[in-house]
Amino acid sequence: MPESAQTAYLNELNPPQREAVINVEGPSMIIAGAGSGKTRVLTNRIAHLISHHKVDPFNIMSLTFTNKAAAEMRGRIEGVVGNEARNLWMGTFHSVFARILRAEASRLGYPSNFTIYDNDDSKTLIKQIVKQYNLDDKLYKPNIVYNRISGAKNRLVSWQEYQNNPIYSEDDLANQRPEMGMLYETYSQRCFKSDAMDFDDLLFNTNILFQEHVDVLNKYQQRFHYVLIDEFQDTNISQYMIAKKLAAVRQNICVVGDDAQSIYAFRGADIQNILNFERDYPDLKMMKLEQNYRSTKNIVNAANSVINKNRAQLTKNVWTENGTGDLIELIKATSDNEEGRLVASAIFEAKMQDHTSESDVAILYRTNSQSRAMEEALRRMNIRYRVVGGLSFYQRKEIKDVIAYMRYVINPNDEQAMRRIINLPKRGIGPGTIEKMVVAATEENKSLWEIMEKGGSLIGGKGGTQVQGFATLIKSFRLTAEKKDAFETATTIAKNSGILKDLHSDKSIEGMSRYENVQELLNAIKEFTDDPEKEDKSISAFLQDVALLTDEDRNEKSEDAVTLMTIHMAKGLEFQYVYVVGLEEDLFPSQMMLSSRADLEEERRLFYVAITRAKKKLFFSYALNRYRYGRLKTCDPSRFLEDVNPEFIHINRKFRSKEPVLVAPSFTTKNFVKNVKKEAVARKVTHVNHTPSKDFQPSDPALLKEGSKIEHPKFGFGTVKLLDTNGSNSKAKVEFEKAGEKTLLLSFAKLRILN
């Protein structure tokens, strides 16, 4: 290959990118800001090693976090160096180290064809062990035990060390799980006897291999002359220790990442790996990619203003030569349901006016349960969408379980609903008992429901008694449904069926998410019954609405569709239009992430990731009220809104709430969030039900003066204390007789001047 062809790719790089590509010797860290061309630099660096420095691809290890990223990088490298790229040791941590373990398995007592357990395999085994030792399966749920063991392995804590560490023992005792150490030991031994490793073992056992077999470690140190790690901020202790050992001889280790995008602590990622990397390598070359090619200036600068609030970070100044772009639009809604409507309206307008493709739009939220209001609003406006990283809200298992109960309460001949719930939560009715019911129904020429009502006499044994008890439970739910509305009926079912209790007792991340989803379903039903336009508020009417919403259609499968996903799932992606919704205290930041500065800073990094997904237009939205746990809760705006430099924010008045805007000054004033919080307090304290005068007619706001006596259709009579005229943002501070002091935006407020 001619030299010019070998290095042509260098001409496509900016100076910092070029520096990061050509400086290949010794330890180096490439801090890659959002949208700065990280993948291009990493792939070109590897291509440069092969084409310019003549490094054999067999001597290069490149570690990523997804197979998709590895395939994309390999394809790009192949475009520069040809088929030689196929010889790279490139892939995810788990795939690359599984390859090493296959070759060296005998050193650890495993055959080379050992089985790799996935999460379901692991949890099934844990369930069997818990049953074997007659432990309480409510306390020792598979998710809880699995996550505890996984966390220990990611910290390189063996079962022996776990059992000998009094901190773990005391913690388990405090959580009423004193047998956790024994379960870890038994689980590990059972895996070993089955010639199986779980996902965590692929990392844990590689560390053991290198620690206990120095000759093996030396072999791979000599093989891999260069070690490169992508998304280094997402590595855990186990991953970093392996890479560090492999690079110990030649010190040619290159890590690429962005501490500002470290958002996976709940998976074991340790941000200290990237923050303290320089301590391990004092002669480190640090290179910074700070030019953003993705977003507008306003979006980039807004993101910088947010992340600068974090104390634990590596200094960088992300900038862009892209256009200034539009200000970030702030959408303020009275409720989460209306938030969905306003966001859907904004998307619809973008489609109509800007000819925006639906695939260019993403709605990002903190928790999966928030998708419900967004999905319903998009469907009503006939906007195609797809939910990424999870099923559509009403297709999630826990939601389908509760709805199956409702369906069966309304229609006891619904066999599919019956089969789904008859042993949920577990009540000792297995497949054998159900088969006996089917046989009895056939012989007696009766419906399954009739057989269930007489379960004890027709089926016999303990199973028959359990079936009859289940039928009695359903009858009680039917009585409730006949007398109560949909919300009261659904709440009774969720509580008395045992589903809520079962989900609430699971404190794993997955368990808490499922519990929140059921609570969100109850919120949806509460909104249904609170809707004055709904004449029929029964559970059957709600189920009909849901059936219409959940019909299979092209929305779920269309490529040209709005993307709905959690912010965690959005990392690494980009969209022309991004809506970050639910920016309220206790939701984002999450209430569970407020116990320490480290947790709060991770939440702020998550907000930073959300902002930097947007290329052209960015929207923030929040609700003044949100249904949570079946109650309408007053919400405060997220503290993160205050982190954004207000000069990059604009109040979106096209998609404002139908309700009067109490406080809506331009967000260019730094007191915005404080004013909104005052407003929230005012809403909690003052509830004024004023009936406007019969001759009420709004006056021209231009005639207002300080001292004017006025009447407001909602807050009643008051006196103008202060006027601030600033074009369309003109506002008045009014002292009302009953509602107290309010600041009103005159372009929205309807005021009648009395003098």
Per-residue pLDDT tens digits for 534-592: 778 888 888 767 765 543 333 344 468 999 999 998 998 999 999 999 999 999 999 88
Distance CA 510, CA 706 (A): 56
261 is catalytic: yes
Distance CA 357, CA 369 (A): 26
Per residue in 17-53, pLDDT (tens digit) is 999 999 999 999 999 999 999 989 999 999 999 988 9
pLDDT for the residue 458: 65
User: Which one of 45, 177, 407, 613 is the catalytic residue?
Assistant: 613
User: Which one of 186, 261, 550, 566 is the catalytic residue?
Assistant: 261
Q: Find the mean pLDDT for residues 213-233.
A: 95
Res. 728 pLDDT band, cuts 50 70 90: very low
Rounded to two decimals, the pTM is: 0.71
- Per DSSP, the residues of 455-476 read HHHHT-HHHHHHHHHHHHHHHH
Name the token pair of 484: 């109560």
**Half-sphere exposure (Cβ direction) of 569: Cα atoms closer than 13 Å:** 15
Q: Write down how long the chain is.
A: 755
% of the chain at pLDDT higher than 70: 89
User: Which one of 104, 179, 200, 230 is the catalytic residue?
Assistant: 230
User: Which one of 6, 39, 334, 492 is the catalytic residue?
Assistant: 39
208 has a pLDDT exceeding 60: yes
pLDDT for the residue 266: 81
38 is catalytic: yes
User: Which one of 17, 18, 38, 320 is the catalytic residue?
Assistant: 38
Identify whether the C-beta of residue 474 lies closer than 8 Å to the C-beta of residue 412.
yes
Q: Cα–Cα–Cα angle for 418, 421, 426, nearest 5°?
A: 135
Identify whether the C-beta of residue 465 lies closer than 8 Å to the C-beta of residue 487.
no
Name the token pair of 310: 């974090």
User: Which one of 104, 172, 179, 231 is the catalytic residue?
Assistant: 231
Lowest mean pLDDT among 174-178, 265-269, 382-386, 649-653: 649-653
Taking CA atoms, 446 is separated from 389, 438, 474, 571, in Å, by 44, 10, 18, 55
Per residue in 432-460, pLDDT (tens digit) is 888 888 788 778 787 788 888 876 566 66
231 is catalytic: yes
601 has a pLDDT exceeding 90: yes
SS (H, E, C) 273-329: HHHCHHHHCCCCEEEEECECCCCCHHHHHHHHHHHCCCCCCCCCCCECCCCCCCCEE
**Half-sphere exposure (Cβ direction) of 72: Cα atoms closer than 13 Å:** 11
pLDDT for the residue 390: 58
590: DSSP letter? B
- Helix (H/G/I), strand (E/B), else coil: 165: coil
Rg of the chain on CA atoms, in Å:
30
Distance CA 248, CA 14 (A): 31
Taking CA atoms, 661 is separated from 340, 676, 727, in Å, by 18, 10, 17
- Measure the N-to-C terminal CA separation of the chain; round to a whole number of Å: 88
Q: In terms of pLDDT, which residue wins out, 673 or 364?
A: 364
Res. 668 pLDDT band, cuts 50 70 90: very low
Q: Provide the CA 54 distance to its chain's centre, in angstroms.
A: 43
39 is catalytic: yes
Q: What is the mean pLDDT of the chain?
A: 85
pLDDT for the residue 274: 93
Q: How many CB atoms lie within 10 A of CB 727?
A: 7
- Helix (H/G/I), strand (E/B), else coil: 361: strand
Q: Give the helix ranges, DSSP H, for 638-671.
A: 639-643
Q: Find the mean pLDDT for residues 675-685.
A: 45
